[in-house]
């Protein structure tokens, strides 16, 4: 009798849904700020990772000496999703603040705007963007918008990088 392992179960029921959830956890930052359920969506995705981790723990053999790579990958995504929820709450708090923005955050918002939209700012003769010519003081909404755009890029990069590393490790071990 010959027994072979069928990887299709893990691919169709774990790896593909987990990968899609990881992309969704990053795309929460792309929703408009006026959409009120951004934190609820982030929390739902976080809970979904918890359900997948529980399901996978139940499917793995109990006598395993080594932690599976899928468990490490899912735990990493769970951590990123937790950070995503925390950042979303911080961004929403910034969005609803009133008053003057601290100087450090004003400079960060202006520099981020300079990096993202060179066409709207004046340039010096060398063609470089001059952030000192940008005179409007950023508001808390501007800071939250810039922070959200940065988080979208960072979390999308981290999720894709984790997926590539995970699939590379699986390909090398196969």
**How many whole angstroms separate alpha carbon 97 and alpha carbon 128?**
33
Task: Check if the beta carbon of residue 74 is closer than 8 Å to that of residue 52.
Answer: yes
**How many whole angstroms separate alpha carbon 101 and alpha carbon 4?**
62
Are 66 and 145 found together in one domain? yes
Are 149 and 73 found together in one domain? yes
Domain count, the chain: 2
**Whole-prediction pTM value?**
0.78
Are 61 and 108 found together in one domain? no
| DSSP class of 127 | S
Helices (H), the chain: 8-10, 16-27, 38-59, 69-96, 103-116, 140-173
- Whether 24 maps to a domain, the answer reads yes
Give the pLDDT of the chain (174 residues) as one tens digit per residue: 887 777 787 788 888 888 899 999 999 999 988 777 888 999 999 999 889 888 888 877 776 677 788 888 989 999 999 999 999 999 988 888 888 888 887 777 777 776 665 544 444 445 454 545 454 678 888 888 888 999 999 999 999 999 999 989 988 887
């Amino acid at each position: 009798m010959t027994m072979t392992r069928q990887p299709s179960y893990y691919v169709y029921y774990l790896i593909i849904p987990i990968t899609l959830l990881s992309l969704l956890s990053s795309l929460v930052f792309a929703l408009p700020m006026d959409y009120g359920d951004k934190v609820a969506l982030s929390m739902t995705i976080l809970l979904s990772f918890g359900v997948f981790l529980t399901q996978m723990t139940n499917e793995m053999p109990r006598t395993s000496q080594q932690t599976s790579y899928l468990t490490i990958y899912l735990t990493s995504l769970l951590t990123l999703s937790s950070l995503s929820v925390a950042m979303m709450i911080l961004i929403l708090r910034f969005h609803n603040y009133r008053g003057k923005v601290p100087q450090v955050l004003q400079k960060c918002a202006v520099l981020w705007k300079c990096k993202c939209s060179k066409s709207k700012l004046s340039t010096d003769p060398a063609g470089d963007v001059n952030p000192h010519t940008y005179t409007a003081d950023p508001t808390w909404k501007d800071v939250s918008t810039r922070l959200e755009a940065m988080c979208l890029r960072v979390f999308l990069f981290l999720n894709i990088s984790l997926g590539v590393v995970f699939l590379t490790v699986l390909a090398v071990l196969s």
